[in-house]
Structure 1
Amino acid sequence: MANQNIAYDFALFEEKNTAEPIRVPQKKSNVIELPKERLQANRKARLKKYLLPFFAFLVIAGLVGAYINGEVQLYTLTTQLNAAQKTLQEQQDCNARLKLRSDCSLSMEAVENYASQKLGMKPTQEDQVITMQLTNGDKSEVVQKTVEGSWAWLQNIWDTITSFLS
């Protein structure tokens, strides 16, 4: 026990002088009193401090969302366009094939073969052809009297009405 460092405060055992009170140093308060005007100004500044980044975030998020939406629509439309082009190509190929088949079945050779084999018809011969000459047709011409003067417009109306009724 001889090596222990123990210290004693002997002032605690001395008599105290009651005439003079011992002043204990008071701690300073950390609270700062602000007037209401400055308090409101500080609150507005804090609101502005957070409001600008919030709106910037909203704008950036909106732009990113619009970009993603545009890309999705572009992909969808591209897919639909490719499918429509593929269908169009298939239909054009089918149309060409059917047109070729139709042309083959309606050619003059095919018609002559069908007429001779299926229907038993023969090609025309010289003795079957009769040429006829027709006279020039008669011509007729309708002559109408036209009314001239101030009553011509009334006559035109009357003629229009009678042409509708006849």
Structure 2
Amino acid sequence: MPNNANVAYDLSLFEPKPLGGQPAQDDNKEPRRRKKSAAPPRIRASIRPIQAVRWSAISVVCLVALGSIMVCNVQNTKLNDQVAVMQKKMSAAQAEEIRLNMQQQSRASLGNVENYAVNNLGMQKTTPYQIEYIHINNKDKVVVQKTQQGILSRLYNWILAYL
């Protein structure tokens, strides 16, 4: 459908633009004016009070989280230091235990006990003349002692003896 309107095309839009960034203007032409569009002008977005409260709450939450992380790291460092000190004490105690065990074993050896018995207590080793052997010709006997019985069991045994 042909356009029978009386409007001419603006071909100046297709001309090359100068390097300065400013459009070339002829002295004869009027500066171009922007046409108003049908849409209402765009209002610059301003910060609303609710958004400010949200952002401040988010920042407070982030600061609290960072603070708690820092406190946890400090406590973790303190506990690691305490663990290191306790491990040093434990290794020293284990070394002391080994030393005391060796000392106790050296004091309680058979040679030391024998020396103590001979020197301090006046004991001697047995000699052959001190040993006596006992020979029994009779066979071994087992004797069972009678246990004490109650009155009812004696009565029951007396009745069984006469039956």
- TM-score of the superposition, structure 2-length normalised? 0.52
Pick the structure with more helix per residue: 1
2:49 to 47, 60, 63: 47
Report the Cα offset of residue 110 of structure 1. Answer: 0.5
2:97 to 95, 98, 120: 95
Cα distance in 1 for partners of 2:55, 2:93 equals 56
- Residue of structure 2 equivalent to 1:26: none
Report the Cα offset of residue 118 of structure 1. Answer: 2.7
Query: Runs of at least 4 residues of structure 1 off by over 4 A?
Result: 129-137, 139-146
In the alignment, structure 1 segments of 5+ residues that lack a partner are 1-44, 147-166
- Residue of structure 1 equivalent to 2:63: 61
Amino acid in the other structure paired with 1:138: V
Report the Cα offset of residue 131 of structure 1. Answer: 6.4
Amino acid in the other structure paired with 2:114: E
Report the Cα offset of residue 119 of structure 1. Answer: 2.7
- Residue of structure 2 equivalent to 1:113: 115
In the alignment, structure 2 segments of 5+ residues that lack a partner are 1-46, 154-163
The number of residues matched between the two structures is 102
1:64-110 residue CA offsets vs partner (Å, 9 max, x unmatched):
11111111111111111111111011011001101100110011110
Cα distance in 1 for partners of 2:115, 2:149 equals 56
- Residue of structure 2 equivalent to 1:80: 82
Report the Cα offset of residue 136 of structure 1. Answer: 4.5
Map 1:10-49 onto structure 2 (within 5 A). 46-49=48-51
Distance 1:108 1:69, change over 3 A: same
- Residue of structure 1 equivalent to 2:144: 138
Cα distance in 1 for partners of 2:126, 2:104 equals 26
Distance 1:63 1:130, change over 3 A: farther
Cα distance in 1 for partners of 2:133, 2:68 equals 81
- TM-score of the superposition, structure 1-length normalised? 0.52
Matched position secondary structure for 1:104:
helix
